[in-house]
Chains A and B, each alone.
Chain A
Amino acid sequence: MAETHRIAGTGRLAGAKPVRFTFDGEPHAGREGDTLASALLANGVHLVGRSFKYHRPRGILSAGAEEPNALVGIHRDAARRTPNVRATVQELYDGLTAVSQNRWPSLAFDIGAVNDLASPFFSAGFYYKTFMWPKAAWAKLYEPNIRSAAGLGVAPDKPDPDHYSSRFAHCDVLVVGGGAAGLAAALSAAESGARVILCDEQAGFGGAMRYESGARIDGLDGWDWTQAVARRLSEMDGVTLLARTTAFGYYAQNFVGLVERVTEHMAEPGDLPRERLWQVRAKRVILATGSIERHMVFAGNDRPGIMLASAARTYLNHYGVSVGRTVGVYTANESAYRGAIDLKKAGVDVRVIVDLRDNPTGPAIDEAKGLGIEVLPGRAVTSVGGSLRVKSITVQPKTGEGTGRLIPVDALLMSAGWTPSVHLFSQSRGKVAFEPGTQRFVPGTYAQDCASVGSCNGTDDLAAAVREAVAAGERAAKAAGRSGGARPAIRVEASEGWSAGMVGAAPGAGKGTKVKAFVDFQNDVTAKDIRQAVKEGMRSIEHVKRFTTNGMATDQGKTSNLHGLAIAAEMLGKDIPEVGLTTFRAPYTPVTYGAIVNHARGELFDPTRRTPIHGWEERHGAVFEDVGQWKRAWYYPQAGEDMHAAVNRECRTVRQAAGLFDASTLGKIEVVGPDAAAFMELLYTNPWQKLEPGRCRYGIMLREDGFIYDDGVVGRLAHDRFHVTTTTGGAARVLNHMEDYLQTEFPDLSVWLTSASEQWAVIAVQGPKSRDIIAPLVEGIDLSDGAMPHMSVREGKICGVPTRLFRMSFTGERGFEVNVPADFGEAVWEALWAEGRKHGACAYGTEAMHVLRAEKGYIIVGQDTDGTVTPDDAGLDWAVGKRKPDFVGIRGLRRPDLVAPGRRQLVGLRTKDPKTVLEEGAQIVADPKQPVPMTMIGHVTSSYWSENCGHSIALAVIEGGRARMGQTLFVPMPSTTIEVEVCDTVFFDQKGERLHG
């Protein structure tokens, strides 16, 4: 079939490259520059989909982004199947494959259409009424069926092979909409020297000039003028032109989200991103978003072949396509006449113009009559013939008197008037104002630095719109601090204008219950549904909307909102503004997840942090665990070992010989300044003033409420310099916490904080052989117990590079933590490893580290504490300076609840069966025979098998725990109840002799 409806000598695609495409498997011919909709119409195809609820045959309503009906699937390959693409927006490319949706087995014969016959059961609010009883039916019957019936199109089930991009941009003036007004505003701003971004959702600039044939500007046809201005703008410095780019969201402080469709129109996208998300911060925004034509609400108005008058005109004047051979027009305003005139002049048989108005007058009416088109004023279209395509219309006086006259047509153009596109203005939190004379909402009170120009502002006259736009562009540039250049002189010599039209249902919508006069095509909402909603008590338009789903489809009611509002207002006997307009929300049109996520997928979903020693760990078979964003070596299984065996061996080896552990992820903060000690006194519970340089102390940090926030070993390097360590997870927030207090509470202190977490690679060497391992590599530090006792820090060299060497232990063994600049970390580790091998040392991971510290009863903040544990609860009261006058949390610690008896205290637990390992998080009760729900007196915080002890060990917080030593308690589990005995938290080397051994 070869473009039977393309009319030679019309449109702008003459000479365009021919392209082939298929629709539901049927091959068709089109042209480069076509949309899928224009190409289908060129081939006489109007039936393109089935409606959502009633499965009624649907055609193409519009020629733009407002399209509610012509939603199709576009299939590039198995992974690229995009559902719900508007055929009116999708540009044609060679080989495009489109399929219709929501039909089975075929578009022409669809089983689901029985819903149309059963429609009395699917009236407004039927979800809320029908599926209430019986309750049991919901999960098994209603929900699965509703789910399978709900939704349009089918989402692809394979990973998206495309990539998406993102760009932050700043400009002086962002102009949204590239019609005559937007172009004029952009030109005016750019001439003033402003940095301008102009975006338009269509494939090119021109806006309404795409279909208007009566405009002349600066001696040019309206369309040619827009193309000339766009060219001129593209050559100017500081101007960014973005076609195929939708401004979908208007956020705070002139932050506007745009999505640019980069490759949707290309047969071969190459390496280009499919879409590019622009996040624009504009000093001023100019909205030139135009207006959208409304359909007439009458019985059968959804029949394929019935479409907006401006759409039919676009298909003729831009694409060279006639939407029918025998065309009728149904209107309540003058603009539709222009469509009839253009079609008539192109040689199409325009049978009739049915005008709801009694005495329509104006130049367009005269011209239509002059061309011999029959005009029937004061009449309504009351029904239509045909099922898969309109075949005829029945025309009756709008008073309902007289008999209907049947007029055969194969296309019907309709226009109820124009709705200014105030979506973005409303999103900017601007308040719309109702104009009673024209029955429309226009921008009223502005909330941001923004202006509206052209028909979105209710300025219908082209000359006035261009004047307004030029002034707005100049004003915006000036407000952004740019001025100069000449104000562009734009002369509008001829233009089309139109009157207001109507809102609500036309007389032909009927009062009966069977008539389907559609208000919202995409959600199948009819005029009677809205009337019914009001009858059932809905008073606010917000309730009417939710009850009927009017305006809730993906088109967000671009064509339907005002009609629905008018019908509800009429039923309620109120004025439209009293019933209110629903709020417009982002996005203006649907945005893909791909565009929103853009680069943040795969490896870029979230940073993966690796330590300087990661490569060695990988080469030595470490299994890694995720700790926040870090990858940490968890354990190092040798041949034949499972995790258990590996961890047991590592734990044993550390206590018998030694182990190397990568502790680089610990947070490190350097606290420097003459008031460093004073600051430490305030941030930690411990006393610091008397700590000598070269010594370390275990510090506890509280929140204001007295609960433990973080802990770590702190070394004093000099009188005015502390090397603070934090937990791995606490690194960032502890620095923030410290900065917060320093800047807001203690700003008079001369001290500064610097994160040094990543400056240092940290290698813990722990175990009886640890000193023997490091000694041969260390220079300038006396490692003897006398010179460097437990809890001290020295600066010197190891392997010839600078080190901060800590003598400290998180295992209970003699131990060192070797800090070296990060780039030396791996080489120093390898040198230590070589020494360690001589002494039978192993590398151990975080799991063994956890077991070893639990054997010693050392807590892990965030595991054994949960934000409700005080130092005393954790058995760490010794770390709170009793004579200190102040520190963060000191008042919190005195709260009655925090000193009351019976608080949960950290204790050890031993299971009666030494082989049983408790579940971390398990609840503890005193009497397992009590009825459920039992009184829970605590829970297990840490639990492991201890190879060194030969039995399981656990830490727990239990009410009055320290007074329960030796008591038997119970841990009820789903299948059994475990008996445990309360014991001390230290399971291994209770005297702590091994620290020095």
Chain B
Amino acid sequence: MAEIALAARRQKHAGRKASAGSATLTAAAPASRLVLRAPDLSLASLSRALDVTLPTAPKSSAASDGLRRGALWLGPDEWLVIDEDGADLEALCAGAASLHSAVDVSHRNLAILVEGPGAAACLNAGCPQDLSLRAFPVGACSRTVLGKIEVVLLRTAETAFRVEVWRSFSDYAWDFLEEAARDS
């Protein structure tokens, strides 16, 4: 049997950048993503397995000490785990052997990085949340609205956000943010 040619990954928006007003947009590199659902009893073992303390406070996230891995609280029993080095998160969770649901969504979402002094203003063109540092500090995250779509927003620095968006909505997200950046 002839060798099968490996299908190449074609990342949507790969390498894309834009800048307007006081904000820049950058397409984030591919990452592993996991939607993790679990009851309280499983959190300790899942945290150990993932090397991230799963946060339990609304609108908060946690990052691994040694890895480029973070867990975003999305609901009372729901987290979005992102690993920028592409680890097999589903397999890690399986190792915890505690009750949970882990679904790989690495390709479902992609991320747009919004950075610069106008980043919050740019997002606030379509996101009704209070993005002041007081209400939405570094590390804060939320499943929220951007214009007419749903996104997950994570503040990575005072003037930097990661916008996680479903693949097919990313054209809209990108166009919206680029338009909004003009007035940031």
Contact = CB atoms under 8 A, between A and B. Distances in A.
Contacts of A216: none
What 4 A-B pairs are tightest by C-beta distance, nearest first?
A752-B37, A609-B168, A672-B101, A799-B7
Given A163-B182, A166-B126, A759-B103, 19 more contacts: A165-B182, A167-B121, A598-B125, A603-B172, A606-B148, A611-B168, A612-B12, A630-B168, A673-B101, A757-B108, A759-B105, A776-B4, A777-B4, A798-B7, A799-B5, A822-B107, A822-B108, A826-B10, A827-B9
Contacts of A279: 128
Contact of A754 (B37, B39, B124, B126): B37
A195 interface: yes
B101 A752 contact: yes
Contact of B183 (A276, A611, A799, A822): A276
Interface string B95-128: 0000101111111110000000000010011111
Interface in A263-279: 271-273, 276, 279
Contacts of A828: 7
Interface in B163-184: 166-169, 171-172, 175-176, 179-180, 182-183
A756 B166 CA distance: 10
Given A167-B125, A754-B103, A273 B168 contact: no
Contacts of B37: 672, 752, 754
Contact of A799 (B6, B106, B172): B6
B44 interface: no
A610 to B, nearest CB: 6
B172 to A, nearest CB: 4
Nearest to B145: A168
Given A273-B183, A608-B171, A609-B168, A599 B125 contact: yes
A272 B10 CA distance: 36
Contact of A166 (B12, B103, B125, B172): B125
B132 A672 contact: no
B11 to A, nearest CB: 5
* Most chain B C-beta atoms within 10 Å of own C-beta, residue among A195, A609, A779, A801: A609
A276 B6 CA distance: 50
Given A604-B179, A827-B8, A165 B125 contact: yes
A822 B33 CA distance: 13
A271 B182 CA distance: 8
B128 A607 contact: no
B178 to A, nearest CB: 10
A600 B109 CA distance: 23
Contacts of A598: 125
Contacts of B7: 798-801, 820, 824, 827-828, 831
Contact of B169 (A604, A607, A756): A607
Contacts of B5: 799-800, 831
Contacts of B139: none
A604 B10 contact: no
A195 B132 contact: yes
Contact of B171 (A165, A610, A752, A824): A610
A240 to B, nearest CB: 11
Nearest to B106: A821
Contacts of B121: 167
Contacts of A755: 108
Contacts of A168: 124-129
Nearest to B123: A168
Contacts of B124: 167-169
* Most chain B C-beta atoms within 10 Å of own C-beta, residue among A606, A751, A822, A826: A822
A608 B175 CA distance: 11
B35 interface: yes
Contact of B148 (A607, A611, A820): A607
Contacts of A271: 182
A599 B180 contact: yes
B137 interface: no
18 contacts: A165-B125, A166-B125, A167-B125, A167-B183, A168-B126, A170-B130, A272-B183, A599-B126, A672-B103, A673-B99, A673-B101, A752-B37, A758-B108, A759-B104, A776-B4, A801-B7, A821-B106, A823-B11
A281 interface: yes
Contact of B167 (A608, A758, A826): A758
B168 A776 contact: no
A670 interface: yes
A645 B180 CA distance: 45
Interface of B: 1-2, 4-12, 30, 35, 37, 39, 77, 99, 101-109, 121, 124-130, 132, 135, 147-149, 166-169, 171-172, 175-176, 179-180, 182-183
A921 interface: no
Nearest to B167: A758
A820 B8 CA distance: 12
Nearest to A761: B107
A219 interface: no
Nearest to B130: A170
B109 to A, nearest CB: 8
Contact of A603 (B30, B126, B175, B183): B175
Given A170-B130, A750-B99, A827-B10, A800 B4 contact: yes
A195 B129 CA distance: 15
B136 to A, nearest CB: 10
B35 A754 contact: yes
A759 B90 CA distance: 14
A674 interface: yes
B106 A776 contact: no
Contact of A604 (B77, B105, B108, B172): B172
B8 A758 contact: no
A765 to B, nearest CB: 15
A20 B115 CA distance: 43
* Most chain B C-beta atoms within 10 Å of own C-beta, residue among A630, A752, A799: A752
Contact of A599 (B77, B127, B147, B167): B147
B160 to A, nearest CB: 19
A600 B148 contact: yes
Given A759-B107, A831-B7, A608 B101 contact: no
Contacts of B108: 755-759, 822
B2 A776 contact: yes
A542 B169 CA distance: 48
Interface string A141-170: 000000000000000000000010111111
Contacts of B135: 170
Contacts of A820: 7
A728 to B, nearest CB: 12
Contacts of B172: 603-604, 607-608
Contacts of B167: 612, 758, 822
Nearest to B166: A758
Given A273-B183, A599-B180, A604-B147, A609 B169 contact: yes
* Most chain B C-beta atoms within 10 Å of own C-beta, residue among A674, A754, A757, A831: A754
A751 B101 CA distance: 8
B107 A821 contact: yes
A674 B125 CA distance: 43
A988 to B, nearest CB: 33
B12 to A, nearest CB: 7
Contacts of A603: 171-172, 175
A756 B99 contact: no
Contacts of A281: 128, 130
A559 to B, nearest CB: 35
Interface in A798-822: 798-801, 820-822
B91 to A, nearest CB: 12
